[in-house]
């Protein structure tokens, strides 16, 4: 099978078996039609769908490796040293996913029966398969609305120190915030939240899966964005375009405890320098281009916002994610767009999400906007 035909078929096969974010199963008939398209699909479901570039694949092939469970993989050690330096923390631990990074941090800060404060729609509560209650025995309290919150809202969510209440032990901030449409959490609010949390004896964790986007959007260095937090999870497989991996950064003590938990949870990996090499390549070569994704998201949003039946809060498009509210059911819009070769996820009954990334050009972003407008215009 020709390479391009194989790639189309592979993507179509994925469509036929995977649920979208809101919960609907992709239609196999549409997947079959997509596999026979004359042009490739424009995939805006997530920035996790990127494929390694040829240069990244070459770096992976050249990677020097060892057994990381024994602490002997030099490429992993180099990555952990570099990410700790960038984040301004003492140490780092390479983990398989952002979910594992967040869940390790939650376990470090809590004990069973505790409660942790998160924003509305936070990733640990919404997208991590109920891991926190299962792995750490904790529950969530929600602060604010729309994903962002301030110190007063955080404080209002703290439970009284009574034995019949859960013990509030941790506050988690997500920056940028996925379900809020890639919104940047204001650093002034973060500093106030962290300061107030510490007066109550709470730990402070940052889900920084897309912190690289926040840094690109604001010009604030990563170490400054990480400074208010005890623990930070940083992802390599979203905007940076690596195939796998995140890092947890924290103190030496936290990282050594997390290393044991990672092994306990089945996350110890052996010659994983092949994947660490991809992350190192992404850090060196893909950070500077993140603004391109933001620009493409802004252009798509502006074009879609003027289309009948589609609505976008342009002020809320700050990074690479565009939330598009729909007059018609979101699943219907997503299905029509899919027929036209554009993949988006329905993230609510009347909302679809488009995520721009390094596999989507400016021209493809414009074409996607046109197809989304046409999908909404159909009777």
Q: For position 151, which CATH number holds? A: 3.40.640.10
* Whether residues 71 and 157 fall in one domain: yes
The answer to pTM > 0.85 is yes
Query: Does one domain contain both 78 and 114?
Result: yes
Q: Are 209 and 332 part of one and the same domain? A: no
pLDDT of residue 14: 47
Output the pLDDT for position 33: 47
- Do 345 and 334 form a contact (C-beta atoms < 8 A)? yes
**Three-class SS state of 171:** strand
Residues 121 and 78 in one domain: yes
Helix axes 28-35, 330-339, angle to 10 degrees: 30
Judge whether 190 lies within some domain: yes
- Asked whether residue 242 falls in the same domain as residue 131, the answer is yes
**pLDDT, block means (10 residues), the chain with 379 residues:** 39 44 45 52 96 97 96 97 98 97 98 97 95 97 95 97 96 97 97 98 98 98 98 97 97 98 95 97 97 98 95 97 97 96 96 97 97 93
pLDDT at 294: 98
Residue 9: give its domain's CATH number: 3.90.1150.10
pLDDT value at position 306?
A: 87
pLDDT at residue 267 in the model:
94
76 and 10, same structural domain?
A: no
Residue 223 falls within a domain, yes or no? yes
Residue 187 lies in a domain: yes
Question: Are 142 and 240 within one domain?
Answer: yes
The C-alpha atoms of residue 175 and residue 214 are separated, in whole angstroms, by: 7
Q: How many domains does the chain have?
A: 2
Q: Which two tokens stand for residue 326?
A: 């729909």
**Are 33 and 58 found together in one domain?**
no
* 176 and 271, same domain (yes or no): yes
User: In terms of domains, do 34 and 99 share one?
Assistant: no
Q: Which of 263, 285, 307 is the last residue of a domain?
A: 285
Does 304 lie in the same domain as 279?
no
120 in a structural domain: yes
Residue 14: alpha-carbon gap to chain centroid: 20
Tell me which H or E stretch contains 287. none
Q: Is position 77 within any domain?
A: yes
Residue with tokens 């994983």: 272
Domain stop point among 231, 251, 285? 285
Is residue 42 classed as helix, strand or coil in its secondary structure? strand
Q: Residue 247 falls within a domain, yes or no?
A: yes
Shared domain for 109 and 188, answered yes or no, is: yes
Report the side by side order of strands in the sheet with 345-348: 310-311, 321-326, 351-355, 345-348
Residue 340: give the domain boundaries: 3-40+289-377
pLDDT computed for residue 361 by the predictor:
96
Tell me what pLDDT residue 1 has: 37
């Amino acid at each position: 099978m020709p390479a391009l035909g194989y790639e189309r078929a592979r993507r179509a096969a994925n469509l036929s078996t995977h649920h979208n974010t809101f919960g609907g199963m992709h239609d196999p008939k549409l997947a079959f039609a997509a596999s026979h398209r004359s042009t490739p699909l424009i995939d805006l479901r997530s920035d996790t769908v990127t494929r390694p570039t040829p240069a990244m694949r070459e770096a992976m092939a050249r990677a020097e490796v060892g057994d990381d469970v024994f602490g002997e993989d030099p490429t992993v050690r180099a990555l952990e040293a570099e990410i700790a330096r960038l984040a301004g923390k003492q140490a780092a631990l390479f983990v398989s996913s952002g979910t594992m990074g967040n869940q390790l941090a939650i376990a470090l800060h809590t004990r069973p029966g505790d409660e942790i404060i998160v924003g509305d729609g936070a990733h640990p509560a919404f997208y991590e398969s109920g891991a926190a209650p299962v792995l750490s025995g904790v529950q969530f309290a929600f602060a604010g609305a729309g994903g962002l919150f301030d110190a007063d809202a955080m404080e209002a969510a703290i439970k009284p120190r009574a034995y019949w209440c859960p013990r509030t032990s941790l506050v988690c901030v997500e920056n940028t915030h996925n379900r809020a449409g890639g919104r940047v959490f204001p650093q002034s609010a973060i500093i106030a939240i962290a300061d107030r949390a510490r007066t109550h004896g709470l730990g402070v964790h940052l889900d920084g899966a897309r912190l690289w986007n926040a840094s690109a959007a604001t010009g604030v260095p990563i170490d400054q964005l990480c400074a208010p937090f005890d623990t930070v999870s940083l992802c390599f497989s979203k905007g940076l375009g690596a195939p796998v991996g995140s890092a947890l950064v924290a103190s030496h003590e936290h990282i050594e405890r997390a290393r044991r938990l990672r092994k306990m949870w089945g996350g110890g990996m052996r010659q994983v320098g092949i994947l660490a090499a991809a992350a190192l390549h992404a850090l060196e070569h893909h950070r500077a281009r993140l603004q391109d994704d933001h620009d493409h998201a802004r252009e798509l949003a502006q074009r879609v916002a003027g289309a009948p039946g589609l609505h976008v809060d342009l002020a809320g498009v700050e990074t690479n994610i565009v939330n598009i509210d729909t007059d018609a059911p979101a699943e219907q819009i997503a299905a029509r767009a899919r027929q036209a070769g554009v993949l988006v996820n329905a993230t609510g009954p009347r909302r679809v999400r488009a995520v721009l990334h390094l596999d989507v050009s400016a021209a493809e972003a414009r074409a996607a906007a046109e197809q989304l407008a046409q999908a909404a215009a159909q009777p």
